[in-house]
Amino acid sequence: MTERKVLIVYAHQEPKSLNGSLKTIAVEELSKQGCRVTVSDLYEMQFEPRTTRKDIVGELYHPEQFNYGVEAWEACKNGSLSEDLIKEQRKVKEADLVIFQFPLYWFSMPAIMKGWMDRVLVQGFAHDFPQCYDSGLLKNKLALLSFTTGGGKEMYSDEGVSGDIRYLLWPMQHGIMHFCGFSVLAPQICFAPEYATEEERVQMLVSWGERLKTIWEEKPINCAVDGYFK
């Protein structure tokens, strides 16, 4: 059987956090399965989240007025993106599964992870209209969001103050992952670990480890508009 490759894009400042433990369990369990696991620890790497002129090596396509989207697209085609972006794109290109591990910030991912997506998943690499959604350039790859929340599960329900969690996941799962062609697996959500008992936090870790044992057997969720909110 061909060796499976997994990339974990990890965004948390503290290795001892639950996010850190979830990342470690994923590395250990997937490695046991014979997978080759790579981790992009964004805080440890001091990853630059800003899209700037420095992302383009050499001359600009339109030097008279800087347009990041156009310049990154041209640089991607010409192989003139900065080395840090080429390195991350290589990791994505090699991966069969990309796991994003993070704490939920303001109904979204931390800025450093959003910056990774802004800079790495550029046009020409992850999408190139009309090659998007089911035809995205990263099709035939799996993506999974694994994250912790500040609020409890009841807050993210139809009756909860924050509404159904599927609504806040829509921009990430459909607008980014699906847009780039990924087949999206169901999210792994750890609700309010700061307010959980030690036993409950342990169970969160155990549950993640157990799920990973059969992760390759899972079917992607329906990220299309006509199926997502049913």
Task: Decide: 56 and 77 in contact? Cβ < 8 Å.
Answer: no
CATH code for the domain in which residue 184 is found: 3.40.50.360
> Could you read off the pLDDT tens digit of each residue along the chain, which spans 230 residues?
579 999 999 999 999 999 999 999 999 999 999 999 999 999 999 999 999 999 999 899 999 999 999 999 999 999 999 999 999 999 999 999 999 999 999 999 999 999 999 999 999 999 999 999 999 999 999 999 999 999 988 999 888 999 899 999 999 999 999 999 999 999 999 999 999 999 999 999 999 999 999 999 999 999 877 777 76
**Of 196, 171, 174, 192, which is closest to residue 183 (Cα–Cα)?**
174
Residue 18: how many other CB atoms lie within 10 Å: 19
Q: Where are the alpha helices (DSSP H) in 39-135?
A: 42-45, 68-78, 83-94, 111-120
Residues contacting residue 228 through CB under 8 Å, at least 6 positions apart: 166, 170, 173, 174, 221, 222
Residues contacting residue 1 through CB under 8 Å, at least 6 positions apart: none
Residues contacting residue 226 through CB under 8 Å, at least 6 positions apart: none
CA–CA dist 226, 230 (Å, integer):
8
Range of the domain at 215: 5-228
CA–CA dist 86, 120 (Å, integer):
8
Q: Residue 199: what residue type?
A: E
Beta strands 97-103 and 183-184, pairing class: unpaired
Report how many domains make up the chain: 1
Q: Provide the whole-model pTM.
A: 0.95
Task: Decide: 99 and 9 in contact? Cβ < 8 Å.
Answer: yes
Instruction: Give pLDDT, residue 13.
Output: 96
Instruction: Give pLDDT, residue 230.
Output: 67
Instruction: Give pLDDT, residue 229.
Output: 72
